[in-house]
Amino acid sequence: MNEFEKHLEILYKERFGQLISLILQRFRHLPIDWAEDIVQETFAVAALHWPKTGMPENPSGWLYQTCKNKSINLLKKISKTADLSLAKTVSVAADEISEDGFKDAQLRMLMACCHPHLTPKTQIVLALKYVANLKVENIALQFGAGPDAIEKMLYRARQKIKTESLILSTGLYGYSVERLSVMHKVIYLIFTEGYKQSGEKISQGKILCEDALILNKFLFDSPLCNPETKALQALMLFNVARFDGRFDAQGNAVELEYQDRTLWDQSLIQLASFLLTESEDSVFSPYHLEAAIASVHCAARKFEDTDWEAICNYYNVLLKVYPSPFAEINYAVALQYNHQNDKAFRILMDLHRNPYFNKLPILDVTIRKYHERVTMQHSEHSALSCKKQ
């Protein structure tokens, strides 16, 4: 892949959902699958012509302008009575194609995907597709489902939007707080998807993490902000503060035990700690508990200083209220470090026997590392016994 293709790929990942949102806001009755086709066609045109003509001075503006032109041409074709005044609105205002304008569109799309006529799971899948521009395979992994199931869900959602004439465009605060919990979940999953990237995809992962932080910051600064919003921001900041320590110079992942903690951003950790305190409420969300776990890791100056008992207690509460196979895997790891090998093993084996979860790559890795740690513990114990004798 040459430099031009890399740049276009980055633009696609950053702007795909934002362009769809901008088109839907401009043309409120345009079906979402049509808007998606228009954006896809626009990128195809860019891939064909830009190598010949050179990169436009404002690539994002060029893409938006082309999308608008295609939208107007399509609306003229399908209806003789289409609003011809649209033709006068082809020119693009500067604020529409500014960075803030695109980020604003991303937040609007997030809110729009959380339409109350759609099920919560469908809302999340739509948002991951059109806000984060995740591939169907990546979305499927988040739900422990097959790609075909996600494709079918997206198809049914698009059909429902079309048949019920649901409008996927909105003012920034046009909806009630009933959508806020789903928006938090989507932002969390976008961040999680970015945070787990490694190797050549680290830069893409950082973009997703930044998108999640920016989206949540919009909510944080809005009248919609609640304790859950603050806890989610704290959780993401705790994790992003450790981002640079998670990889070596070649982009390989470095396990927590061997990370250089001097690379952790202490100013972000302090901000996250402040927000976690500010987020205290009578009811704890999963983000409160996960942020508390992250704060324990960040508080340990050395891996050996980690308060594993506190982490186990937090996971125990988290799994009772918000069960998740990923949290169970992390709980099992914490239990082993807290010298509860048998309990950790039972959790991992229960997951391994589950047909939905035993295909998770992280589960196989965790089980292998479990056995490595057990072997190492036995070796250390034997060596200690020999010394005493």
Q: What does the DSSP assignment read for 76-87?
A: HHH-TTS-GGGG
Element (DSSP H or E) covering residue 371? helix 361-388
Tens of pLDDT, residues 230-266:
999 999 999 999 998 999 888 888 999 999 999 999 9
Question: HSE of 354 in the Cβ direction (CA atoms, 13 Å)?
Answer: 16
Please enumerate in sequence order all residues whose Cβ is within 8 A of that of 382, keeping only pairs 6 or more positions apart, or say none: none
- Between the CA atoms of 315, 335, 300 and 194, what dihedral angle is there, to the nearest 10 degrees? -60
What is d(CA 230, CA 280) in angstroms, rounded to the nearest whole number? Answer: 9
Count Cβ atoms within 10 A of the Cβ of residue 365 and give its class: 0-12 exposed, 13-18 middle, 19 or more buried: exposed
What is d(CA 313, CA 308) in angstroms, rounded to the nearest whole number? Answer: 9
Nearest-CA neighbor of 205 among 190, 225, 220, 188?
190
What is d(CA 145, CA 151) in angstroms, rounded to the nearest whole number? Answer: 11
Q: Helix, strand, coil proportions of the chain in percent (round to 5)? A: 75, 0, 25
CA 345 to chain centre: 30
Total Cβ atoms within 10 A of residue 375: 10
What is d(CA 68, CA 27) in angstroms, rounded to the nearest whole number? Answer: 9
β-pair partners for 253:
247
Distances (CA, A) of 267 to 203, 219, 262, 292: 22, 22, 12, 17
Nearest-CA neighbor of 86 among 74, 98, 101, 104?
74
Model pLDDT, residue 84:
47
Total Cβ atoms within 10 A of residue 273: 17
Answer for the pair 257, 303: CB distance below 8 angstroms, yes or no.
yes
Nearest-CA neighbor of 357 among 332, 336, 339, 320?
332
Answer for the pair 89, 121: CB distance below 8 angstroms, yes or no.
no
Q: Which residue has the tokens 């939007």?
A: 161
Total Cβ atoms within 10 A of residue 158: 16
Tens of pLDDT, residues 141-154:
888 788 999 999 99
- pLDDT mean over 167-187: 72
Nearest-CA neighbor of 121 among 95, 99, 150, 98?
150
- Between the CA atoms of 212, 217, 223 and 228, what dihedral angle is there, to the nearest 10 degrees? 60
Model pLDDT, residue 337:
94
Q: Give the mean pLDDT of the chain.
A: 86
- Lowest-confidence segment of 43-47, 182-186, 314-318 by average pLDDT: 182-186
Model pLDDT, residue 87:
47
Tens of pLDDT, residues 41-61:
999 999 998 988 888 988 999
Model pLDDT, residue 387:
59
- In eight-state DSSP terms, residue 186 is H
